[in-house]
Amino acid sequence: MQEFRADLHCHTTCSDGTLTPNEVIQLAVSSGLSGLSITDHDSIDAYPEALEAGKKAGIEVISGVEFSTVHMGVNIHLLAYSFSLNAPEIQHLCAEHHKRRENRIKEMLFLLKKKGFEISEEDIYSTRNSKRGIGRPHLAKAMVEKGYVKDINEAFKKFLGEDKDCYASGKSHSAEETIEIIHKAKGFAILAHPHLIDNTAVLKNLLETPLDGIECYYARFSESQNKRWLSIAENKNLLKLGGSDFHGSVKPKIFLGCSWVPQDTFSILRNRFQENQA
């Protein structure tokens, strides 16, 4: 029998991924995955479609989302799993983020205009089904299409990165506040990709918050690079989770299922998800 593998981190067109929820589910099955959580940025919009597609395709799908937070002035992503999709706390936080995202895109379009880059809201939204889930990668793509930069990476490096002139965060939510909301919804709160946090003071402080786990296996990081996070999680008795952070063709080197967790880990999340649905 094929080994059970579950990818706990991926994105769809409901945020900045390029495949629809149904397409991600079909790809998960053809990639040999047995379990999946879709973790769009600040959105659970993928779920009605993903759950139905998962049921039909015979893959176990559990709730997930990747929340944007700010901790000690630094952008930090927190993953949440296993909450009920009807949990008002999660729905409310996602709704606040949708408003934040719409407003900050306006702000960033204004900052880009000051630099001579003419991009309209129509340019950003016309290729999407919904105004929801909009983010910097959509702005970067518009900049490439208009010939203002050669690729998405250049757009981030010169203009859209956190420390660049055209960046706006909008009204932020703290990591502590976000963890509290996830816990109210009986979900698990997980520190996403600590591999990417280079500020040791921020990291140390984050590990003192009431997290339930760490994303130890991440994208294409190697076993030796993941070791550090596995050992911290082990010492603190935290869940050791992981996933690919698949986004589709915007990050072509990251394949769905390139990081994953085994069945016993997935069962902990799935059991809580089922309890929360009951």
Give the interface with Fe ion as residue ranges (CB under 5 A).
Answer: 16, 77, 192
The one among 49, 60, 212, 245 contacting Zn ion by CB under 5 A: 245
Task: Considering the complex, state which of residue 12 and residue 84 has its C-beta at the smaller distance from Fe ion.
Answer: 12
Strand partners, 68: 77
Question: Can you tell me the distance from the alpha carbon of 69 to that of 75, in angstroms, rounded to the nearest whole number?
Answer: 6
153 interacts with, out of Zn ion, ligand AMP, Fe ion, none, CB within 5 to 8 A per kind? ligand AMP
CB 54, min distance to Fe ion, A: 21
Exposed/middle/buried for residue 48 (C-beta within 10 Å: 0-12, 13-18, 19+) = exposed
Q: Which residue in the shown chain puts its C-beta closest to Zn ion?
A: 245
Site string for ligand AMP, 64-83 (x = CB under 6 A): ----x---------------
CB 2, min distance to Fe ion, A: 29
User: Which stretch of DSSP H or E encloses residue 181?
Assistant: helix 175-184
Q: Is 42 a residue that touches Zn ion (CB under 5 A)? A: no
Residues in region 29-58 near ligand AMP by CB under 6 A: 41
CB 167, min distance to Fe ion, A: 15
Q: Which residue in the shown chain puts its C-beta closest to ligand AMP?
A: 135
For 151-165, give one letter per residue: b (16+ CB within 10 A) or e: ebeebbeebbeeeee
Q: Is the dihedral of CA 192, 193, 197, 202 positive or negative?
A: positive
Q: In this structure, which amino acid lies at residue 161? A: G
Residues in region 108-137 near ligand AMP by CB under 6 A: 135-137
Dihedral angle over CA of 165, 70, 188, 201, nearest 10: 110
68 interacts with, out of Fe ion, Zn ion, ligand AMP, none, CB within 5 to 8 A per kind? ligand AMP
Question: Can you tell me the distance from the alpha carbon of 196 to that of 259, in angstroms, rounded to the nearest whole number?
Answer: 15
Q: Please give the distance of CA 227 from its chain centroid, rounded to a whole number.
A: 22
Q: Is 156 a residue that touches ligand AMP (CB under 6 A)? A: yes
User: Which stretch of DSSP H or E encloses residue 141?
Assistant: helix 136-145
Return the DSSP state at 146: T
Q: Is 246 a residue that touches ligand AMP (CB under 6 A)? A: no
> Two tokens at 12?
């769809």
Task: Considering the complex, state which of residue 25 and residue 155 has its C-beta at the smaller distance from ligand AMP.
Answer: 155
152 interacts with, out of ligand AMP, Fe ion, Zn ion, none, CB within 5 to 8 A per kind? ligand AMP
The one among 76, 90, 119, 152 contacting ligand AMP by CB under 6 A: 152
Q: Is 153 a residue that touches ligand AMP (CB under 6 A)? A: yes
Q: Within 10 Å of residue 254's Cβ, how many Cβ atoms?
A: 16
- Per CB under 6 A, residues contacting ligand AMP are 16, 41, 68, 135-137, 152-153, 156, 247
